[in-house]
């Protein structure tokens, strides 16, 4: 399944308690070839960035870093598996782990909120 993430916007749907992404967190994805990156903010997060790779099946493997509302710098890694919804939007099922702080791991779902991608 070939997926182009460029100019897609996602928001948090569910998250493990140790995560900081909420429904107020929005992610703006970009892609060139098999390289993806995103900027994100909202909820408990002031500003964040992600950088990673897109596999041929559309799965994502990336590192993330952000500054939270407490002023802490948080970093982690994440693997995301895409699901194409009936209306064509993408839902990402994520497994992540903090790489600083308490090193907790968890899972979350983010879902495309706008389908006006180029």
In a domain, 100, yes or no: yes
CATH number for position 39: 2.40.128.30
Would you say the pTM of this structure is higher than 0.75?
yes
Q: What is the pLDDT along the chain (118 residues), one digit of tens a residue?
A: 689 999 999 999 999 998 999 999 999 999 999 999 999 999 999 999 999 999 999 999 999 999 999 999 999 999 999 999 999 999 999 999 999 988 999 999 999 996 654 4
In a domain, 13, yes or no: yes
In a domain, 4, yes or no: no
Tokens of 15: 């998250």
In a domain, 35, yes or no: yes
- For 37-69, the pLDDT digits (tens) are 999 999 999 999 999 999 999 999 999 999 999
In a domain, 1, yes or no: no
Q: For 22-57, give one letter per residue: b (16+ CB within 10 A) or e.
A: beebbbebebeeeebebebebbebeebebebebbee
Domain region containing 104 = 9-114
In a domain, 14, yes or no: yes
Please give the tally of structural domains in the chain. 1
In a domain, 3, yes or no: no
């Amino acid at each position: 399944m070939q997926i182009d993430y460029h100019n897609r916007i996602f928001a948090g749907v569910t998250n493990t308690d140790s995560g900081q992404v909420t429904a107020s967190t929005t992610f703006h994805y970009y892609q060139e070839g098999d390289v993806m990156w995103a900027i994100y903010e909202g909820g408990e997060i002031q500003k964040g960035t992600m950088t990673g790779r897109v596999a041929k099946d559309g799965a994502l493997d990336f590192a993330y870093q952000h500054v939270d509302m407490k002023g802490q710098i948080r970093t982690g890694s994440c693997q995301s598996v895409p699901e194409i919804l009936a209306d064509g939007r993408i839902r990402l099922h994520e497994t992540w782990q903090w790489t600083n702080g308490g090193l907790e791991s968890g899972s979350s779902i983010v879902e495309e909120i706008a389908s006006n991608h180029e």
